[in-house]
Amino acid sequence: MTTLPLSELRVIDATKGIAGAQCTKMFSDFGAEIFLLEPVDGHPLRHRRATAIDHSQTSPLFVHLHAGKRSLVGALSDISASNLISTADLLVDDSMTADEVARLREKFPHLVVTSVSPWGRFGPRSENPGTDLTVQAEAGGMKFRGPPHLPPLRGGGDIAEYMTGAAVSAPSLAAVIQARSTGHGAWIDCSMHDVMAIAASNYCDLLDSMMGRQARNGPLRITDTPGVEQASDGLVGLNTNAGHMFQMFLVMIDRGDLVDDANIARLNNRIAMGKSWSDIVDPWMSTHTVAEVVAAAGELRVPVAPVHTGATVISDDQFVARGLFDWCDGVPRIRSPFHINGARPPLQQAPLLNDAAGDHSSLNRPRTENHSSATHNFLWPGFAWWISHRGGSAAWPLRCLRCSVPKSSISNPQAIPMVCA
């Protein structure tokens, strides 16, 4: 692996949650040197796990988010941390108030400070507690999830935290690029609430307003059916947004006699049927394995995918071919989701608590400053590679940063997957 594009950067992670850890992980994946500030008893994510057993080991979540970083026990107010800040390009934090950030930036004018919080550092809710659940609810994303007759559901997997970390990483890097060229830092204030308002809503209310339609005051929730279905040995996901896809689904489950039934062809009607619709689908699904369902749907060109579990995902042939998972310290680890010049960044180990304390040469390394365009030219390719794998959404942070983003034409529009109807 050649030198990674952000290897000249030094970042301090003073966060306790997933959002900040995900942000600094993206810097680490591209070669930046990350120092993780931890309390004496260790970072909270060291002890966070899905089960109540094996608390003697560092949690897999901590290993995933903080692998490749250096650990330093201390707080931002400590002298050792202050010396480290003077050599850093970026500080990511999730607890400082706006006033504390202002005082820190006055002392270290070169520093870029990124604040991550549920509601942002100003506004009427800025001091309120918040969780992944509450910001999803308040951002409107839960309005559309779950069966209409049941309470709404949140998107699982701490999605607000991970999306916030990914979203704030691009402007943080852009600010660092500018700071290394000018010597003047910046403050990036990122709200999980803001991120989810953009990322977790399909803008139905905005569309209604633009089209002059009356606002929808009640719950607007639709569950795809067929959607995630139970096969004999696991779950499988199906999509029948287009009419011909639904007809082929009926053929697949040996109910071709319903192909011309206009009533059952409508999604809302199938949802209203409840158990009577399940009684049509379940007899065939329950007698076929996931592999058999995937094969049958594929032959009829019905969009389909197995719903993996933790035990099966690591053996998925596509992931195996691309080398996404590897074994380290006796457990499967997920690697960075990209290749640079045909190779993934190397898999790294999680830090031992306070493992950087004795490395005086590294801790006392002076900060390199470059006010010419050389630093900008060195870092900009890293920024371009960073967002290039994000597809169409990659242009959004660039546009927010006033970059010129030309839109390339699509030579084969039929190859675009349909995501909604």
Q: What residue spans define the domains of the chain?
A: 10-200+323-400, 228-307
Distance CA 19, CA 76 (A): 19
10-200+323-400 and 228-307: identical CATH topology: no
Our CA angle for 304, 309, 310, nearest 5°, is: 140
Closest by alpha carbon to 32, among 5, 64, 51? Answer: 5
Percent over 90 (pLDDT), the chain: 57
In terms of pTM, does the model score above 0.85?
Answer: no
Give, in order, the Cα–Cα distances in Å from 390 to each of 195, 275, 381.
16, 39, 15
pLDDT at 415 over 60: no
**399 or 291: which carries more pLDDT confidence?**
291
CATH code 3.40.1310.30 for 10-200+323-400: no
What per-residue confidence (pLDDT) applies to 205? 66
**311 or 37: which carries more pLDDT confidence?**
37
Interval 43-97: pLDDT, tens: 999 988 877 666 567 888 999 999 999 999 998 888 777 889 999 999 999 999 9
Residue range 229-255: mean pLDDT, rounded: 96
What per-residue confidence (pLDDT) applies to 224? 79
- Domain 228-307 carries which CATH code? 3.30.1540.10
* Backbone Cα Rg of the chain: 25
Position 375 confidence tier, pLDDT thresholds 50, 70, 90: very low
In which element (H, E) is residue 328 found?
A: strand 325-328
Q: What is the DSSP string of 100-112?
A: HHHHHHHH-TT-E
Give, in order, the Cα–Cα distances in Å from 36 to each of 217, 230, 231, 360, 370.
45, 43, 44, 16, 25
Residue range 346-364: mean pLDDT, rounded: 81
